[in-house]
């Protein structure tokens, strides 16, 4: 770790003013500190923003989650548990209680990939060092993407929370360098790698995430989050599925289907969702939805298994929506 | 154990370990936690390439950084007599001649050590050091390389292959296991301090203080007693602490160089390349049987990785020669040098790996024969004699282990045809396998000290790496002396105490226990002599007649002919009465062979759509001879079994074949089993003393808890799904595509 300056701010405005281009905001630090220790992030200054909004505010249109709301808080909050339980389910499938106690909502969105090549500064990685090459493309890519990847990067976004958020059509509230507020739809927040994989997302430079907003929705009865991983706790997803159904007399009025562990960004299976709309909630339709999603994937040499796994996971997750 | 097995058990837990309070209150000190005045901090710089030569190291920037005291590297290091020349280096057998070579053998090899006033300063300065290399061709690809390395005989062939080449039933298959790392909770650490010109003191994370003493005294050409090694608390080892690794050496070198105490603790990432691992392996089994299910012969071939600078052979085929009665047996092996750190023993070394292949093949054979796998094993186990030496087993109760385990898990509910039992998308299956380990014993010493206040201290140099050795010493002293346990203290893990072997290979208690009991006898004899001067009744007292209590001693019965310690000490000049004993194996080793064994049973569920495997139940019945204290013993076995779940289902450390780097070096990415992956392990013991092995009748337990686990799980997956998976770990991808 390199020496750095440290400033603690109390307001978003102050944070934006104080942060220099060579600096970084720090929230829970659960990702940033690891990156600094491995010399992947080398900020010259840290701006501690842990005192910015940490409240969960019910709105008429939905709920606003402050950027500093800790992941564990989201799993205990009554508003979330009754109206947006998918969020809590997703969070509980990730990390460990200790990490969830530290991790913030904003930081979770901005956590970086877990691709092993990204973490080793002695190996090429376009995300870490643009232009150096992608070691995973023809290397060990068991954990890598099966959809939306490019020759330049096959890394996946590791978050669980974000999968629930993208499924629920959330949006990200940010304040830009010029102190102006802006709202970015969640599905447009993260990026596909293309030829600029060093950019994980569309957060403007020096901007602060202040909150996440989740609109009112009917997905608090029939929902499921299924995470497949190499061990049952404290492991990132091989494939995860957030599924939610709005049912009327067993007919699917609306459906949401998103996945983690498959792409550079939290991934929505829109075609599969569209297929489900208006259909009866039954195994055959679930299987067809899974097939539609799986058909859109393009696995690498080392992760062909993710396709049948995804298919199975979607089927099971949809099925679990009926029993959960 | 009922208390552990049953979540709702209302039983009181068995009493705790002697070191429990010190551990949970943080009072117990692990190596890096000692406060040593004047200590400075060392941080490693490691190579960024896997093979080549160092052309130049740029240390100037680092030297100028604040707090830096000195930087050790191959052109700036103190004299280590044991590294004086190539021959000496080879004879030292420490492996890597750190700072005494400019060669790079693997990525992550130490190339420099920064010593600074604080850890932060050393860490930062280390990041400023760069090196130029002449890179050379390297190889970390075991899968591609091993076919070109020829096999050699591993042990004498029994019978001939011709005799059974047309056996009616043959199973022939290959098995692979990926590299596994130990990574105990406590990272390897040393605080080294030269306390005189040729005297050094080490606080060290190790499984054997005397072995560290031996190696360091050899390397630095100083008398053994001038090396003091302290390792009172050890946060796990699993074999990684059985060797003296470069970190210890570097700390000693640095302290010599800067003439101050130096603390060096490996970082978690460094733990992945510098302190050994279970090598990646390939095996092939050919197993034949006649129509009655009698094994007619086996060929067992095995290869595993080693480093390019050291040969490590963990003897994977050894277990082929141990368990079953093969009239015809051929075992062959080879090691495959790669540009990786040197592997080392890891829990159940060799046998754990070999057992997976053999027990999988036997399971496969059982289905071919349509015979119950337990019955098939019982038909072929060498229950009377060690098939290798021909000597009779002193005791061997694997048959009873099998019987009890089968009852516990309700083996009769298992279906002989795979894929029969489902619950929704889950397929359910039963599996079993056995594990064995030769019960070793080596010379060990212990002493017992009694003071005037009626307090006992039992001492040995042996470490307690979490196995419960200290607690067992207390138990043995209590049983031998009659003194209440709360008056018996234990001191261990210090080279100034009576010498003892390293704690490994399931030999700890089996070696040490006898010394504790003998020391107790000696102490009682001494007490009898003093007592006789006070009360003539004690004149002819044998050791067994003497009973100790908190306040004094008695003759034959509690409180009979009572002499208080105060009175006794009127005849004693010293402040304490002390007895030391050494016990070692003897004649019995000529007459008998010794083994521990375990039968592992499990029920697994396999998800047909996602490939997920869950271990629902795991039963382990072990024969470790007499169990001294059931709680730590069961703890040993259940810990090992959880390790077995990891081995079977998730542990794998890979290297990138193109770049020679380990892929990942943290505990987020390297998956060992956690509580969520394991059911409550149902452990029980045969608990019959072995009359020949030592005074207590206790055989070792540390290894058999894991040997056999992986095969039991793989066999259960087959029973559930009909998929025979021969490559560990069995991650969900392998289940899906299998
Ligand atoms: C071992 C381990 C296992 C894990 N497992 C999982 C898992 O299974 N699933 C999962 O989803 N996550 C997992 N995580 C990741 C964890 O959820 C994230 O590290 C955490 O959410 C990040 O939040 P933080 O507040 O600690 O962020 P920090 O580390 O403080 O920051 C991360 C990044 O976000 C930036 N940042 C933070 N807040 C803001 C803001 N308000 N505005 C602008 N920039 C900001 C920082 O500058 C930094 O670049 C795991 C982490 C670890 C270490």
Find the CATH number of the domain harbouring B58.
3.90.1170.50
Cα maximum dimension of chain A: 62
Position B698 in a domain:
yes
Q: Which of A20, A75, A103 to mutate to test the pocket of ligand 1 (most atoms within 8 A of CB)?
A: A103
Boundary (domain end) residue, out of B552, B584, B616: B584
Output the CA A254–ligand 1 centroid distance in Å.
Answer: 31
Render B308-342 in DSSP notation, one character per residue. SS------GGGGGGTSB--SSEEEEEEEEEESSPP
Count: domains in chain B = 3
Distance between CA B404 and CA B573 in Å, rounded?
55
Residue B435 and residue B450 in one domain: no
Of A2, A123, A316, the CB nearest to B659: A123
CB contact under 8 A, B737 and A231: no
CA distance B409 to B603: 8
Residue B391: count other Cβ atoms within 10 Å of its Cβ: 14
Q: Is B311:B338 a contact under the CB 8 Å cutoff?
A: no
Residue of A4, A19, A27 to test ligand 1 pocket, by largest number of atoms within 8 Å of CB = A27
Q: Sheet holding B488-491: strands in order across?
A: B488-491, B456-459, B444-451, B576-583
Q: Are strands A23-26 and A45-48 parallel, antiparallel or unpaired?
A: parallel
Return the pLDDT at B1. 52
Domain check: are B652 and B544 in the same one?
A: no
Chain B: nearest CA to A37, how far in angstroms? 9
Residues B357, B282: Cα–Cα separation, whole Å:
9
Same domain, B455 and B429: no
Least CB–CB distance from B664: residue in A116, A234, A315: A116
Q: What is the predicted pLDDT for the residue at B468?
A: 93
CA distance linking residue B290 with residue B395, whole number of Å: 29
CA of A26 to the centre of ligand 1 (A): 9
Are B308 and B341 spatial neighbours (Cβ–Cβ below 8 Å)? no
Residues B123 and B248 in one domain: yes
The minimum-distance atom of ligand 1 relative to the CA of A236 is: 8
* Rounded average pLDDT over A251-268: 98
**Does A5-48 match A222-323 in CATH topology?**
no
Any idea what DSSP says for residue B448?
A: E
Q: Are B610 and A309 inside 8 Å of each other by CB?
A: yes
Residues 6+ apart with CB under 8 A from B655: B140, B179, B340, B661, B662, B663
- b/e map B196-207, b = 16+ CB within 10 Å: eeeebbbbbbbb
User: Helix, strand, coil shares of chain A as percentages rounded to 5?
Assistant: 30, 25, 50
- A124 band by pLDDT with thresholds 50, 70 and 90: very high
**Tens digits of residue pLDDT in A289-323:** 999 999 999 999 999 999 999 999 999 999 999 99
Contact (CB<8Å) A308/B650: no
Query: In terms of domains, do B209 and B80 share one?
Result: yes
Residue B536, domain member (yes or no): yes
CA separation, residue B516 to residues A30, B451, B462, B523 (Å): 48, 17, 12, 10
Query: Do the domain assignments include residue B107?
Result: yes
Interface test with A, best of B183, B668, B721, B725 (most A CBs within 10 A): B668
Report the catalytic residues of B. Answer: 703
d(CA B38, CA B15): 40
Determine which residue's CA is closest to atom 34 belonging to ligand 1.
A107
For residue B93, the model assigns a pLDDT of 87
pLDDT of residue B9: 67
Using the structure block, give the residue that is written with the tokens 């939610």.
Answer: A244
Predicted pLDDT at A2: 84
The CATH class, in words, for A222-323 is alpha beta
Ligand 1 shell residues, CB under 6 Å: A 24-32, 34, 49, 67, 71, 94-95, 99, 102-104, 106-108, 110-111, 158-161, 208-209, 236; B 668
Which structural domain, as residue segments, surrounds residue B75? 31-137+185-236+241-274
In chain B, which stretches have pLDDT less than 50?
A: none
Q: Which of A30, A88, A92 to mutate to test the pocket of ligand 1 (most atoms within 8 A of CB)?
A: A30
DSSP string, A99-138: HHHH-BHHHHHHPPP--TTTT-TTS-BTTTSTTS-BSSSS
In this structure, the answer to whether residues B458 and B511 fall within a common structural domain is yes
Query: Which of B127, B654, B733 is closest, CB to CB, to A140?
Result: B654
Q: What is the pTM of this model?
A: 0.97
CB-CB contact of B595 with B436 (8 Å): yes
Q: Which tens digits make up the pLDDT trace of A2-61?
A: 889 999 999 999 999 999 999 999 999 999 999 999 999 999 999 999 999 999 999 999
**How many A-B residue pairs are in contact by the CB < 8 A criterion?**
103
Q: How far is the CA of A238 from the centre of ligand 1 (A)?
A: 19
Whether residues B70 and B194 fall in one domain? yes
For A5-48, give the CATH class: alpha beta
Distance A158 CA to ligand 1 centre (A): 10
Number of Cβ within 10 Å of residue A135's Cβ equals 24
Question: Scanning every residue of chain A, which has its alpha carbon at the shortest distance from the alpha carbon of B670?
Answer: A235
B565 within domain boundaries? yes
Shortest-distance atom of ligand 1 to CA A35: 29
Residues B520, B479: Cα–Cα separation, whole Å: 10
Contact criterion met (CB < 8 Å) for B48 and A122: yes
Asked which of B566, B584, B602 is the last residue of a domain, the reply is: B584
Interface mutation vs chain A, best among B732, B735, B737, B738, most A CBs within 10 Å: B732
d(CA B112, CA B125): 11
The pLDDT score that the predictor gives to residue B16 is: 83
pLDDT digits over A197-233, tens only? 999 999 999 999 999 999 999 999 999 999 999 999 9
* Closest atom of ligand 1 to CA, residue A162: 11
The residue among B584, B600, B618 that closes a domain is: B584
Q: Are residues B640 and B573 in the same domain?
A: no
Q: Would the CB atoms of A139 and B658 count as touching at under 8 Å?
A: yes
* Cβ proximity of B17 and B94 under 8 Å: no
ipTM: 0.97
Whether A305 and B611 lie within 8 Å, measured CB to CB: yes
B524 near B543, Cβ under 8 Å?
Answer: yes
* pLDDT at res. B11: 66
Q: Would you list the domain boundaries of chain A?
A: 5-48, 222-323
- Strands annotated E in B395-476: 421-423, 426-438, 444-451, 456-459
The CATH code of the domain that includes B486 is 3.30.365.10
What is B211-261 written as a DSSP string? HHHHHHHHHTT--GGGEEEE-SB----TTTTSS--HHHHHHHHHHHHHTS-
Give how far Cα A93 sits from Cα of A90, A127, A259, B242, Å: 5, 26, 13, 37
């Amino acid at each position: 770790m390199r020496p750095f300056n440290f400033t603690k701010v109390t307001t978003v405005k102050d944070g934006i003013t104080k942060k220099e281009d060579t600096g970084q905001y720090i929230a829970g630090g659960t990702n940033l500190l690891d990156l600094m220790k491995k010399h992947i992030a080398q900020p010259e200054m840290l701006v501690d923003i842990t005192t910015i909004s940490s409240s969960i505010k019910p709105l008429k249109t939905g709920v606003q989650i402050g950027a500093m709301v800790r992941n564990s808080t989201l799993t205990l909050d009554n508003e979330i548990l009754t109206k947006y339980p998918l969020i809590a389910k997703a969070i509980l499938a990730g990390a460990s209680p200790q990490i969830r106690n530290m991790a913030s909502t904003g930081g979770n969105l901005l956590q970086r990939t877990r691709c092993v090549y990204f973490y080793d500064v002695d190996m090429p990685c376009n995300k870490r060092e643009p232009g150096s090459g992608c070691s995973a493309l023809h290397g060990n890519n068991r954990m890598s993407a099966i959809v939306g990847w490019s020759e330049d990067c096959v890394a996946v976004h590791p978050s669980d929370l974000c999968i629930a958020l993208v499924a629920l059509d959330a949006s990200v509230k940010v304040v830009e360098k010029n102190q102006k507020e802006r709202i970015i739809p969640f599905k447009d927040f993260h990026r596909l790698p293309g030829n600029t994989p060093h950019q994980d997302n569309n957060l403007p430079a020096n901007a602060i995430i202040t909150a996440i907003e989740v609109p009112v929705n009917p997905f608090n009865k029939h929902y499921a989050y299924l995470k497949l991983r190499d061990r049952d706790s404290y492991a990132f997803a091989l494939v995860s599925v957030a599924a939610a159904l709005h049912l009327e007399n067993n007919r699917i009025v609306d459906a949401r289907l998103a996945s983690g562990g498959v792409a550079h960004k939290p991934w929505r299976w829109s075609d599969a969702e569209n297929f489900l709309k208006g259909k009866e909630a039954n195994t055959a339709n679930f299987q067809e939805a899974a097939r539609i999603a799986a058909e859109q994937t393009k696995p690498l040499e080392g992760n062909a298994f993710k396709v049948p796994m995804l298919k199975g996971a979607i089927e099971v997750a949809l099925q679990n929506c009926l029993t959960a | 154990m009922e208390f552990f097995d049953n979540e709702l058990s209302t039983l009181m837990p068995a009493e705790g370990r002697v070191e429990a309070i010190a551990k949970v209150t943080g009072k117990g000190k692990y190596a890096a936690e000692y406060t040593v005045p004047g200590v400075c901090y060392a941080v490693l710089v490691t190579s960024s390439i896997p093979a080549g030569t160092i052309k130049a190291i740029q240390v100037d920037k680092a030297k100028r950084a604040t707090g830096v005291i000195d930087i050790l590297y191959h052109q700036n290091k103190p004299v280590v007599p044991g590294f004086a020349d190539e021959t000496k280096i080879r004879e030292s057998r420490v492996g890597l001649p750190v700072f005494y070579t400019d060669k790079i053998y693997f990525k992550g090899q130490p190339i420099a050590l920064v010593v600074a006033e604080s850890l932060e300063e050393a860490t930062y300065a280390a990041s400023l050091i760069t090196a130029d290399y002449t890179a050379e061709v390297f190889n970390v690809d075991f899968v591609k390389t091993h076919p070109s390395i020829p096999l050699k005989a591993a042990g004498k062939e029994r019978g001939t292959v011709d005799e059974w080449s047309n056996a009616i039933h043959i199973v022939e298959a290959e098995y692979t296991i990926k590299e596994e790392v130990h990574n105990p909770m406590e990272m390897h650490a040393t605080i080294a301090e030269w306390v005189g010109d040729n005297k050094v003191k080490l606080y060290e994370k190790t499984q054997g203080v005397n072995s560290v003493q031996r190696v360091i005294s050899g390397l630095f050409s100083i008398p053994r007693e001038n090396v003091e090694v302290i390792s009172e608390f050890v946060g796990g080892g699993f074999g990684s602490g059985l060797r003296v690794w470069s970190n210890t050496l570097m700390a000693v070198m640095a302290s010599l160089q800067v003439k101050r105490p130096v603390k060096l603790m490996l970082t978690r990432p460094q733990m992945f390349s510098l302190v050994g691992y279970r090598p990646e392996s390939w095996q092939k089994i050919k197993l034949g049987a006649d129509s009655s299910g009698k094994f007619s012969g086996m060929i067992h071939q095995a290869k595993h990785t080693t480093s390019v600078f050291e040969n490590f052979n963990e003897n994977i085929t050894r277990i082929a020669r141990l368990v079953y009665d093969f009239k015809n047996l051929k075992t062959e092996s080879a090691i495959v040098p790669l540009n990786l750190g040197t592997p080392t023993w890891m829990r159940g070394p060799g046998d754990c790996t070999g057992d997976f292949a053999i027990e999988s093949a036997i399971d496969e054979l059982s289905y071919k024969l349509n015979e119950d796998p337990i019955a098939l094993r019982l038909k072929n186990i060498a229950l009377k004699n060690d098939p290798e030496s021909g000597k009779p087993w002193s005791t061997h109760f694997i048959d009873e282990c099998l019987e009890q385990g089968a009852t516990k898990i309700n083996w009769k509910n298992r279906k002989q045809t795979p894929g029969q039992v489902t619950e929704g998308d889950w397929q359910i299956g039963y599996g079993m396998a056995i594990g064995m380990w030769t019960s070793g014993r080596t010379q060990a010493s212990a002493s017992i000290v009694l003071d005037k206040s009626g307090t006992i201290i039992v001492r040995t140099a042996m470490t307690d790496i979490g196995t419960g050795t200290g607690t067992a010493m207390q138990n043995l002293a209590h049983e031998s002396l009659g003194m209440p346990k709360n008056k018996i203290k234990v001191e261990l893990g210090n080279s100034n105490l009576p010498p003892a072997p390293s704690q490994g290979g399931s030999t700890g208690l089996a070696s040490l226990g006898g010394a504790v009991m003998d020391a107790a006898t000696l102490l009682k004899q001494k007490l009898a002599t003093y007592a006789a001067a006070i009360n003539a009744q004690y004149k002819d007292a044998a050791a067994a007649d003497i009973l100790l209590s908190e306040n004094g001693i008695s003759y034959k019965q509690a409180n009979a002919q009572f002499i208080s310690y105060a009175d006794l000490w009127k005849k004693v000049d010293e402040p304490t009465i002390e007895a030391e004993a050494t016990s070692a194996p003897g004649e019995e080793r000529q007459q008998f062979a010794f083994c521990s064994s375990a039968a592992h049973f499990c029920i697994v569920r396999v998800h047909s759509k996602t490939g997920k495997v869950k271990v629902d139940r795991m039963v382990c019945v072990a024969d470790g001879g007499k169990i001294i204290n059931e709680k730590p013993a069961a703890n040993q076995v259940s810990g090992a079994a959880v390790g077995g779940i990891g081995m079977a289902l998730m542990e794998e450390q890979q290297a990138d074949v193109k770049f020679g780097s380990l892929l990942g070096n943290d505990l987020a990415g390297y998956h060992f089993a956690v509580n969520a992956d394991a059911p409550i392990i149902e452990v029980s013991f045969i608990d019959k003393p072995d009359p020949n092995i030592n005074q207590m009748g206790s055989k070792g337990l540390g290894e058999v808890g894991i040997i056999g686990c992986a095969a039991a799980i793989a066999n259960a997956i087959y029973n559930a799904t009909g998929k025979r998976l021969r490559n560990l770990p069995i991650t969900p991808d392998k289940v899906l595509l299998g």
